[in-house]
Structure 1
Amino acid sequence: MSTSLSLAFPSVVARLRAAGCVFAEDEAQLLISAAGTPAELDDMVTRRVRGLPLEHVIGWAEFCGLRLAVDPGVFVPRPRTEFLVRQAAALARPGAVVVDLCCGSGAMGAALAAAAAGPVELHAVDVDPAAVRCARRNLAPVCGRTVGTVYEGDLYAALPAALRGRVDVLLASPPYVPTGAIGLLPPEAREHEPQVALDGGADGLDVVRRVVAGADAWLAPGGHLLVETSESQAEETAEAVARAGLTARLTHDDELDATAVIGTRPGSRGAHP
């Protein structure tokens, strides 16, 4: 960081505070660190003050200790989703076949591959072309430790048929905000993140139900489905998991305010059909 940029810290903090940024000092440090020149810093602060997510302005987000690219218009990974990754990593044995549905920037897949006990075979899917491009960039660095492929398409339809009945860990953080609640989200989300990554339909569970309904056909015996949802939607999600023929359990983390439903396909792990 140059001296001229560091001297701008008080004025940057003041501009961010005036715009309502709660963590103005922390954001100022990140913006100053990311800027190359005073003019670039001014442009970045201006975009942040106008409401762009900080991650879109600086071009990255921290997730599970990793610095991951987040391009403009791509869903920003939330800290609460780290809970889902931790649960999945604990279930991913070395060599596991892992599928990340609704992968967004690829944050979950990259973090799981980094945290797993050994190399995994990772497949990620998103319907948004911008998210797919971003995910491919983020997953490239972990390919020395995993086999990773990112597909563009609608959930399971994008996956190769050869994966049917072979998936050991299937994780998903699908959109689960009810359509009527989109307008209540912070402007950063509702104005700058893709609607397809937020809108879960009338009750927020449209995509969740589709993920759950298709899971059994893709999971290996003893394989696990992990779905992020809200605490208020967890019981209904768990019921859908049970109806799909999986053994369901709920998990919650108070500190992150994170909820996940885990479904397990009956059978012995490793006994792929």
Structure 2
Amino acid sequence: MGEGNRTRTATSEEEDAAWALCQSLPPTLPAGEIVALNTPGADLHTPRAYTYRDWSFEAPPGVFLPGETSRMIHDRLLDGTIPVAGRSYAAMGSGLGVEAVAAGLRGAKEVHAIDVDPESVRATTEAYARLVGDRPGTVFRPWVSDLFARVPDGARFDLVTFNPPAVRETVSEDPAVVRNVCVGSGIVRRFFEQVVLRDLLAEDGEVYLVVSNTSELRDIVAHAIESGFLPRVIHHQTWDTDDVQTFLFRLRRAVAI
């Protein structure tokens, strides 16, 4: 253990509040609803265009277009709710690269774009070069990696965002759909295990995690708490057309490494 905040432990009030939040979360939706809500589009394996604000992106075949849950992160990177300026930032699951572009334009010190799919990393790298380019004080580092597996030892991040493919039900046998949508809650468990075991968060580092009740929401948050994180809801999104509830959590270490 180090000095100051790095030896801080959660108070009983903080722990009680964390578990109360976990218990207040909605249960996972029935399987039939989950499958119906996550049926992929027929054009997934074709080149497509995507626009976010005035930025344009080209989606290679097999790479998903960002949805409403991804935009929860994009918007908050740009408006400063997720503070990235001057910080080392990791976009876990970089997709088309919207998060990486937003972080670069907002003045991140380092932008690490991480995705298991080489085509996603290529699309992110091309979009970043075109929309951000070389900026003094900002370094761009793309990684083709299963979570943090290929990120070098000793890397530490002030900020990580993750919109995991944690949908509980298998909605397709297509490997691209599984990779982008329904790996299940195990990927989030592995994520937190790697963050803790590899000491990947800097002092006062933060994780911003998007999870909905199409996933095992309560179990995911419970595992985060058991791993030593204190969750706080930054945004709660509902829709008039279905019963999906999506949460953007900020998580900080209760017991610093």
Query: TM-score normalized by structure 1?
Result: 0.65
SS of equivalent to 1:162: coil
Structure 2 residue ranges without an equivalent (≥5): 1-40
* Identity fraction in percent: 22
Cα drift, residue 228 of structure 1: 1.5
- Correspondence list, 1:73-222, <5 A: 73-88=62-77, 89-114=80-105, 116=106, 118-140=107-129, 141-145=131-135, 146-163=138-155, 166-180=156-170, 182-183=171-172, 193-200=176-183, 204-216=184-196, 217-222=199-204
Paired residue for 1:252?
A: 236
Counterpart-to-counterpart distance in 2, 1:143 and 1:238: 37
Q: In structure 2, which of residues 32, 43, 46 is the aligned counterpart of residue 52 of structure 1?
A: 43
Tell me if the contact between 2:89 and 2:158 (Cα under 8 Å) persists in the aligned partners.
yes
Give 1:264's aligned amino acid: R
Cα drift, residue 135 of structure 1: 1.6
Paired residue for 2:58?
A: 69
Per-residue deviation, residues 143-192 of structure 1 (Å, max 9, x unmatched): 434321111121111212231xx311111122112243x14xxxxxx769
Distance 1:121 1:138, change over 3 A: same
Larger Rg: 1
Tell me the number of residue pairs that the alignment of Structure 1 and Structure 2 aligns. 204
Query: TM-score normalized by structure 2?
Result: 0.68
Find runs of 4+ consecutive structure 1 residues off by over 6 angstroms.
none
SS of equivalent to 1:158: coil
Per-residue deviation, residues 198-223 of structure 1 (Å, max 9, x unmatched): 222xxx21111111222232111111
Counterpart-to-counterpart distance in 2, 1:267 and 1:113: 30
Compute the RMSD of aligned alpha carbons: 2.9
Distance 1:66 1:56, change over 3 A: farther
Higher helix share: 1
Paired residue for 1:7?
A: none
- The answer to which of 65-74 and 256-265 deviates more is 256-265
Paired residue for 2:206?
A: 224
Structure 1 residue ranges without an equivalent (≥5): 1-49, 184-189
SS of equivalent to 1:130: helix
Paired residue for 1:4?
A: none
Cα drift, residue 253 of structure 1: 2.3
Counterpart-to-counterpart distance in 2, 1:176 and 1:267: 26
SS of equivalent to 1:155: coil
Counterpart-to-counterpart distance in 2, 1:198 and 1:99: 20
Greater length-normalized contact order (CA 8 Å, ≥ 6 residues apart): 2
